[in-house]
Structures are given as structure tokens and as C-alpha cells.
Structure 1
């Protein structure tokens, strides 16, 4: 999932993280952070969900995350990063965010389910807002369209995608194709059938059937991928 990738890249190794809301998104983030060597405290008001994750997280606590004093007693103020993964209760999500801002957490991520939810969260004090459902829907649309093999869109409209090599790149070195100048994207790696991805350089020759990893503005990446079918 793109959001997990973005969140993971933002933390220094070994940082402690509090994940509030142990639903599908919160648990997926928590598991990824644990694999990367972070200590993770999970907080949820559902006792059954907390018990389910008690042996998997560094700490798992049943608590009301909307109460700033409760969070302070749990030591949340000492965490450099907080992730609010509450999606089913917008009021609880925003009240939790307010409590975290009162504790002056330096890096707060929030899962938003609507654009309005995200806009309010940013005004209250969220440093990062992610829209996992919307981004997953966009990724699936790209895959169904058949132009893109894999797709990750980051903030500010930047994307990285695996695509079928478009005709303008076939049978000549990348330096001669002028991909960046003509299409506004960068070819980062190339994979031939039956081989592993290799770093792409100016002398790399692309042939029909190759897969490319490209990066650039999302609109440019989509346009360039479409040339594989023209």
C-alpha cells in the first residue's frame, strides 16, 4: 500500500510510534513499522481488538484516545510520531487529533475518509493526511486499465510506476530517446523477461516486452504509460 510506504520512509530507524485505532489500516501500519525495527504502542477503545494485538505490538492499550489526560498518563507525549487510524468515527478521529496537538506531538499522521475530513484535520494540526481508500481505488483503476503493472502516488502529485516499455523507447539507448525531455518522466530501471530489474543508464537499450520503472509527475507517468498501447 502506498500509504504504508510513505509513512515508513518518514521515520528514522528505531523511532517509537503510537498507532491509535487498531482497525485494518492501523494494524497494517503497525505491522510494517514493527518489521522495520520500531517500537509501536497501539491504542484502541475496543478491548477485544486490543487483546488480539497485545502479543504482536510492543504495547497495546485499551483507552479513550480523545481524552488528552489519558494519553498523557500513557506517556504518549514522549512519542515523536503518532498515527491516527480511526476511520469509522470522524468525531473521535478529530478529537484524538486535537488531543495529540495539545500534547505537542511533532509528527502526526491521520487517515482521512473524505476530502472534508482531511481538510479539517490539516487545519487542526495534522502534519500528514493520507487517503488509503481513494489511493487504492486509483491504483486498482490503473491496473485494470492494463497500462500500468504497479503504481504508487506520493504527495504533491509525484508517482512511481512499473509500466510496459512504450514504443518511443524501443531498440535504442535511453540517451537517444530523450524520455525526460520529451515526456517529463525518468526511467529508473529496466527488466527483461526472465531477468531481474537493472538500473537504467544512458546506454541502456530497451526492447519490446521490457518492463520499466519510471518516476515523475503523476499525469506525465500516466500519459507515458499510455504510449505502450498506441
Structure 2
């Protein structure tokens, strides 16, 4: 295994090559990153051997195994183990002990995520939970897209409501009235651009708003 420089911003260790880990690893490679993919399954390691920069069969819960593959040389690592909670937690803990400075970890529940944070994960993602929540918001409302930045605060993409058309955002008082901020606007046939207090919304405009999740949801229901 080639030596990794901890100051190399384009290398990452991905532990777990299931659906989430493999998708992440392949996307990083497509973006020009060097990816070392690790899994205990010979089949998965073989599957992605040609697509990733390096792959290796190893038990990430074993500190010695991680040392042998050079895990401590990585500045970034992702623990993409989801189905085996104990292995996920142990692997994260081992990376912390090895001094990896930025650790992302996949969780299957908020309780799992809290444990990962307690053992030292710097970033925890809940892909199934987050996607389910996102789709629920899109299905149940008028939003075109939705992203929760953190619990209770979100971004929403929606069509500009009729009652705001033809006025500047300053004149509409949208922030005071609805508790949200219009951060960008997309005209028909154009790209998104930053919104200002002088921006005038027109029919067919698509806007991105930010605010508390409840306020964003209420605003998206305006027609």
C-alpha cells in the first residue's frame, strides 16, 4: 500500500463498500480523489478493484489491520458500515485512536449517530432517514426541493407565490411576514442568482428560501 501524506487533500479512506460506501467512493474517484476502499468481503473488494484507486480486504475493527493498510496516514476517512452497529462504532473508535483528523460515519438511526459522535466521529450522516424525510416533505407540500441543514433549519426550493410578484423583496416584507429569507432566484430560461432586497419576483420564477423548517413549509404552501 503506497504511503499517504496527511496533508494530501485529495485522498480518503472509505471503510465499507456496500451501497452507500461504494456510491460515495465512486463519486469521489470521478471527482479526482484517491480512494482506498476497505471491506471484509472479498466479493465487494474485487467488484470495485478496477474502479477505485486501491482496494483491500481488511477488518476495520482491528487496530493492527488499520495500521497495516496505512489508515493513520489519511487525513479523512468515512465509516460507511451501516448494518452492523458494533463494527461501525469500533471502526470509528479505532480511527480516532489512530489520529485521523476528519471522520465521517454513516448511522442507521439517531441513537446510532449519537453513539458515533460520542466515540469521536466528526460528522454523522443518516442517508436513509434524511432521504425519507426529504421525500416526505416533497410529497406532502408544494416544494420542488428540500434540504435540512440542521435540525429545525432548512432550505426549500419553490415557485414564487402570486402575492409576491411585481414587488421588490423589501416591499413584500417577506422576512417579517413569513420568517424566511429569499436567498436566490431563478428566472425562466436563466440560472440561479443571488437575491437582494431590491429583487423583484416575476411569474414563473423559482426561488430558494431559508429559515426554520416550519416557516419554510408554511411559506411553500402559499400559491
Give the structure-2-normalised TM-score.
0.89
**Which residue in the other structure is 2:214 paired with?**
219
Q: Secondary structure at the match of 1:205?
A: coil
Give the drift of 1:166. 2.5
What is the aligned length?
A: 217
* Pair 1:88–1:37, CA change in 2 (3 A): same
Instruction: Provide Cα deviations, 1:59-103, integer angstroms capped at 9, x if missing partner.
Output: 111111110110011110011111111111111111111211111
Moved more, 36-45 or 77-86: 36-45
Does the 8 A contact of 2:158 with 2:208 survive in 1?
A: yes
Q: Which has the higher helix share?
A: 1
**Highest Rg: 1 or 2?**
2
**Which residue in the other structure is 1:4 paired with?**
none
CA distance in 2, matches of 1:35, 1:152: 24
CA distance in 1, matches of 2:164, 2:10: 42
Does the 8 A contact of 1:13 with 1:38 survive in 2?
A: no
Does the 8 A contact of 1:13 with 1:37 survive in 2?
A: no
1:116 aligns with 2:115: no
CA distance in 1, matches of 2:210, 2:28: 25
Give the structure-1-normalised TM-score.
0.86
| Structure 2 spans left out of the alignment, 5+ residues | 1-6
Equivalent in 15, 18, 31 of residue 36 of structure 1: 31
Give the drift of 1:209. 3.2
* Pair 1:151–1:39, CA change in 2 (3 A): same
Does the 8 A contact of 2:29 with 2:52 survive in 1?
A: yes
Does the 8 A contact of 2:182 with 2:208 survive in 1?
A: yes
Q: Secondary structure at the match of 2:51?
A: coil
| Structure 1 spans left out of the alignment, 5+ residues | 1-11
Q: Alpha carbon RMSD of aligned pairs, Å?
A: 1.9
